[in-house]
Structure formats: structure tokens, C-alpha cells
Chain A
């Protein structure tokens, strides 16, 4: 019985219904798409790692309202981005623009990849330089056999093969 109740409760819990719901009106689909793109790409300045769409903090609500107002006022994407960066710095962009402060962010992965490739190339060339193991030719095999058999049974095979 308890399991059924639990199951019913779990089925009735609609987690998506707890997500942020704000009803902003847009004139065109493009405006709505730009708004949705911006709230994914802009980061909540108060939170550690949330975008505007995922955060319910007061500052995120304000920024969403401001974003909506700017889109409805016909501001371009560049103007909106500049407005946000002027106030909250590069931190607010999940893909910060390239400058002296963000160079490490952008270049470090490339640097690590190049470093990894260099190490790999070094190891590969070293492996190529090593002399490959040659199979024994007939002469060597015969010599080896004689040596081994000499050790094991010196009386029977002495000087037998060569």
C-alpha cells in the first residue's frame, strides 16, 4: 500500500514545473529566440555557476527583465552584450571575449593539446628509432639449437648439427 502511495506521489511530482517561469511577451519569434539564447549564454553574477535561465536569484530576475526590455526596445545583440559587460565584467559571459584577462582561459586548452601532441610525437619517434626484433635466420637458429642441446644433453648431440 505504502509503495503505491509513494509511486503516486512520485508520478505526480512534475519537476519541470518548479523551473523558473516568467511570462514575457514578444512581438516576434526572433525576439523570443534571442531572449532564450541570451539567458542561456549570460551568467548570473551572484551565483557560482548558473546561467540566467537557471537562476531564481533577485539579480537574475532583474537582468532578465532588463534583457527583455532591451530586446523589445530593438537593441542589437552587440549593444546588449556591451551593456552587460560594462556593468558586470567579462564574468557575465559564459563565452568571454578574448582579451588580456581571458587569454589564459582561451589559450590554455590549445596549449595543453599542443603539449600533449608534442609528448606523443616524441614518444612515437623514440619507439620508431628502436631496432625491431628480427626473427632468427636458419644459421642463427641452428647455432642456438646446438648451444641449448649441448647444455642439456652433451653426450648425445655433441657436434651433431654443425
Chain B
């Protein structure tokens, strides 16, 4: 017994080393990010909004199609959005409905962006003041929300979407959504 006691500090040290290396490993593989917060909106309805679109029409939550869709928060001042945009265009070509939220941006550069790089959004809300962004709990662009057919937020991803993120994070969510409501 007293023998074990002698080695107790060493054992505690080794356990701590194992924990720290484990966390570090998960950070490196991308399984864990200390900056990615779970959204407070998870499993709650998408907040009400009534905003102009970039094209100048008015759009509110009630106008959204009754099916699952993505809500993508972007801006022309956001470098990561440049990187992400081609994949969004690809998703749109595959038939994924994406609602754009142009977050704290100016209208002219945003319209130019969509004209030059392609428009993957079925509509783009012009959130000049960031009010919808605040209601969504956006901390920065880009962010992408998965909203189900009942208008409930099921998932939030912070950062750029690409094929890998789509396959690993969105695809499983989507297949479970489709199983739930055939």
C-alpha cells in the first residue's frame, strides 16, 4: 500500500499527460475546436425575420419553402467566404436550397460578387445592420445553419463549407432528417 502511495504523484502526472495529449490530438484531427460553440438556437425555431433581399424585395420567415434548407451567412469583407463560395455554387447545382444572409455588408459589392462568382442562393437577405445575425447568434462569417422542414435549426457550422465538412457533418444530419420525415 505505502509502495503505491510513493508512486501516486507519478501516476497522476501520467494520467494528466494522457489527457492533455488526447485533447491535443483531437484538436489536430479537427474533432474538437475550442472556438466552435454549440449554437444556442439548436433544436429551436429559426428566428422571425422580415428583411429586404439584395434585389430589393421583402422576405419574411413565412415565405420560406416548407422543406429543409441551409442558411448561409456571408459577406464580401469575409476572406473565408471567397474560399467557400465555389462549393456553395456546386451544392446549389446539386439541388441544395440555400438561403443567403448578406451580413453587415454593402449592397453594390454584394450584387457584384454574386454576378461574378455565381449565385447559389434561392434568395439573399440583406442584413445591413446585422440584426438577423444577432438573432441567429452569429459570431462571424461564414456560418451555415441547417433548418429542417418544420423550421427548426438542427445544426450550425462555423467556418467554410467544403466537400469534407459536408460529407462528415452535414450528410449524416441530412440522412437522419430524411429518415424522420419520408
Chain A residues near B (Cβ < 8 Å): 45-46, 48, 58-59, 62-63, 66, 85-89, 91
Contact = CB atoms under 8 A, between A and B. Distances in A.
Given A45-B137, A87-B41, A88-B40, 13 more contacts: A46-B139, A48-B34, A48-B35, A58-B140, A59-B138, A59-B140, A62-B133, A63-B134, A87-B40, A87-B134, A87-B137, A89-B40, A89-B137
A interface, by DSSP: helix, strand, loop or mixed?
helix
A75 B38 CA distance: 27
A66 B133 CA distance: 12
A89 B37 contact: yes
Interface of B: 34-35, 37-41, 104, 130, 133-140
Contacts, number: 36
A133 B70 CA distance: 79
Given A48-B34, A48-B35, A58-B104, A85 B40 contact: yes
B40 A86 contact: yes
A86 B39 CA distance: 10
A87 B37 contact: no
A79 B134 CA distance: 16
Contacts of A58: 104, 140
A84 B135 CA distance: 9
Contact of B37 (A66, A86, A91): A91
